[in-house]
């Protein structure tokens, strides 16, 4: 090999390694960018779930006062999912469960008021849609569970109105999509 061929060979090898390093750096940056986008999407979903939870807990549609939901309003809200979609957005549902010593779950129905029921599922059709998405394995969801109180009407009337009792409960708010 002549001196010119050797220099040319060194130049080709050096160029090859420089191109390999540039390609490697590009893949590393693309991977980093992809991870950052996923992190931002998760952060956005968490923020949406937190905001939804705050709005549910303080909404006059459901709450008697902050973090105290009214059972009468909850029963009325069972049939208002379309109206609540305008207020709270799409692809969410909430489960409110009163914590009692019996441990039994009795679902509340939208057409009858009962102090025996202890679980309300708001926007149940969204829950059914979520289950279908779950079966297709294309589901990412975020949920928060928070303690609260549910004001229950006792049924007997006092001078200032119907007597109520605040019972401890939990709310699970789910956002999926």
Q: Is residue 156 part of a domain?
A: yes
Q: Is 23 inside any structural domain? A: no
| Residue 130 lies in domain | 32-176
Backbone φ and ψ for 152, nearest 5 degrees, come out as -110, 135
For the cut 90, the answer to whether the pLDDT of residue 165 exceeds it is no
Q: What per-residue confidence (pLDDT) applies to 106?
A: 86
Q: How many domains does the chain have?
A: 1
| pLDDT at residue 16, rounded to an integer | 95
pLDDT at site 107: 86
Residue 99 falls inside a structural domain: yes
CB 90 within 8 A of CB 129: no
Asked, for residue 46, whether it belongs to a domain, the answer is: yes
- pLDDT > 70? residue 117: yes
48-93 tens-digit pLDDT: 888 888 888 888 888 888 788 888 888 888 888 888 888 777 888 8
- Note whether residue 38 is domain-resident: yes
Confidence check: pLDDT of 30 > 80 = yes
Q: Is the residue at 11 inside a domain?
A: no
Q: List C-alpha distances in Å: 58 to 47, 55, 149, 154, 156.
A: 17, 5, 12, 23, 27
17 or 177: which carries more pLDDT confidence?
Answer: 17
Are 84 and 117 in contact by the 8 Å Cβ rule? The answer is no
Predicted local confidence at residue 59, as pLDDT: 82
Residue 16 or 57, more confident = 16
Q: Tell me the C-alpha distance between 72 and 78, whole Å.
A: 10
| 163 part of a folded domain | yes
DSSP, collapsed to helix, strand or coil, labels residue 174 as strand
Q: Does residue 58 form part of some domain? A: yes
Highest mean pLDDT range out of 13-17, 41-45, 59-63, 167-171? 13-17
């Amino acid at each position: 090999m002549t001196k010119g061929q050797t220099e040319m060979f060194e130049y080709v090898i050096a160029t090859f390694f420089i191109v390999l390093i540039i390609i490697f750096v590009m893949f590393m940056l693309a991977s980093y960018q992809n991870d950052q986008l996923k992190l931002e999407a998760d952060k956005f979903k968490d923020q949406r779930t937190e905001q939804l939870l705050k709005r549910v807990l303080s909404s006059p549609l459901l709450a008697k006062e902050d973090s105290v939901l009214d059972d009468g309003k909850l029963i009325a809200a069972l049939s208002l999912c379309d109206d609540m979609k305008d207020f709270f957005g799409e692809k969410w549902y909430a489960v409110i469960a009163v914590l009692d010593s019996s441990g039994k779950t009795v679902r509340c129905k939208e057409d009858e008021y009962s102090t025996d029921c202890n679980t309300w599922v708001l926007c149940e059709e969204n829950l059914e849609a979520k289950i279908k998405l779950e079966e297709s394995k294309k589901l990412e969801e975020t949920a928060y569970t928070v303690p609260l109180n549910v004001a229950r009407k006792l049924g007997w009337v006092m001078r200032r109105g119907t007597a109520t009792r605040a019972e401890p409960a939990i709310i699970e708010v789910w956002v999926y999509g």
